[in-house]
């Protein structure tokens, strides 16, 4: 039985889902879990746009693409238009798919959160609050898929080990990048590499800038694809 938790900041969210059963169940369950969140459930993003005009403030828009549907075919129209229409209101996608490529495509489009429907309701609630607070949420299980391999040594043109040929990263930044591939937070990166947390944050910013990544997840994905490329990994 879900217990009603102490409320934090009052939030108003719109939840779009074409399935009336899951739409109503989600709205009622979130309200039961946290009385500080008011959920207005609607059948579509178009309905959400119309309803949003009636409120002085909407904290987040959630859209459920569940029931086995693939997000990618409808992304260019539904998600991009929603991000443009809601502008500063963060958009969160709920989907059955935990495919990391799909998740990254959503993030590049402007989605601020991606909740896999297999996650518990409590995790979904924390994800919503994280996104409203300015963060970005993806499932840890999906992020872990980016780091199945150990760090590889890369050789430069002279045949010597060169850890500075991926995005012009320094050896220290490469170590930070490897931590990002493992899904580590700034605090854990700082502890592991023997630096203060502010220094870790600065290294993360530099890594993102040099790789041209918009967020930590995209940086981890870019690193994974480059480390996995036979042209970039030294022969044993």
Overall fold of domain 146-236: Arc Repressor Mutant, subunit A (1.10.10)
Map residue 42 onto helix, strand or coil.
strand
Share of residues in the chain with pLDDT > 90 (%): 14
Residue 9 has pLDDT above 60, yes or no: yes
Residue with tokens 């493992």: 182
Contact 233/226 with Cβ under 8 angstroms? no
pLDDT tens sequence across 32-60: 888 889 999 999 888 888 888 888 889 99
Query: Average pLDDT in the 14-29 region?
Result: 90
**Top-confidence residue, 136 or 222:** 136
pLDDT at 184 over 70: yes
Distance CA 85, CA 80 (A): 9
pLDDT at residue number 8: 62
Burial 18-38 (b: 16+ CB within 10 A, else e): beeebbeebbeebeebbeebb
Percent of the chain with pLDDT over 70: 75
Q: Which CATH code for domain 11-144?
A: 3.40.50.2300
Overall pTM > 0.75:
no
Q: What is the mean pLDDT of residues 171-177?
A: 88
Per-residue confidence (pLDDT) for residue 61, from 0 to 100: 93
Q: pLDDT class for 226, splitting at 50, 70, 90?
A: low
Whole-number pLDDT of residue 39: 92
Domain boundaries of the chain, sorted by first residue: 11-144, 146-236
pLDDT for 146 = 58
The separation between CA 20 and the C-alpha centre of its own chain, rounded to angstroms, equals: 26
pLDDT band at 220 (very low <50, low <70, confident <90, very high): confident
The per-residue pLDDT for 70 is: 58
pLDDT in tens, 109-163: 888 899 988 888 888 898 898 899 888 888 877 766 655 444 444 444 444 434 4
71 band by pLDDT with thresholds 50, 70 and 90: low
> pLDDT confidence of 164, banded at 50, 70, 90?
very low
192-199: average pLDDT: 90
Q: Where residue 230 falls among pLDDT bands split at 50, 70, 90? A: very low
């Amino acid at each position: 039985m879900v217990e009603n938790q102490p409320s934090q900041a009052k939030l108003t969210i719109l939840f779009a889902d074409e399935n009336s059963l899951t739409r109503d169940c989600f709205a009622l369950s979130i309200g039961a879990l946290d009385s500080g969140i008011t959920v207005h459930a609607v059948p579509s993003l178009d309905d959400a746009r119309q309803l949003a005009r009636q409120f002085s403030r909407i904290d987040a828009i959630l859209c459920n693409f569940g029931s086995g549907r693939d997000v990618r075919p409808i992304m260019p129209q539904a998600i991009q238009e929603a991000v443009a229409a809601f502008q500063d209101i963060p958009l969160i996608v709920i989907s059955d798919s935990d495919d990391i490529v799909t998740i990254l495509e959503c993030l590049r489009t402007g989605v601020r959160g991606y909740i896999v429907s297999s996650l518990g309701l409590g995790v979904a609630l924390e994800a919503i609050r994280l996104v409203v607070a300015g963060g970005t949420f993806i499932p840890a299980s999906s992020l872990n898929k980016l780091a199945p391999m150990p760090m590889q040594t890369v050789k430069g043109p002279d045949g010597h080990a060169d850890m500075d040929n991926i995005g012009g990263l320094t050896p220290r930044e490469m170590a930070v990048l490897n931590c990002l591939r493992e899904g580590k937070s700034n605090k854990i990166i700082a502890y592991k590499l023997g630096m203060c947390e502010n220094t870790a944050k600065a290294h993360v910013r530099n890594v993102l800038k040099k790789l041209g990544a918009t967020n930590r997840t995209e940086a981890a994905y870019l690193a994974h694809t480059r480390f996995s490329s036979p042209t970039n990994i030294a022969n044993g």
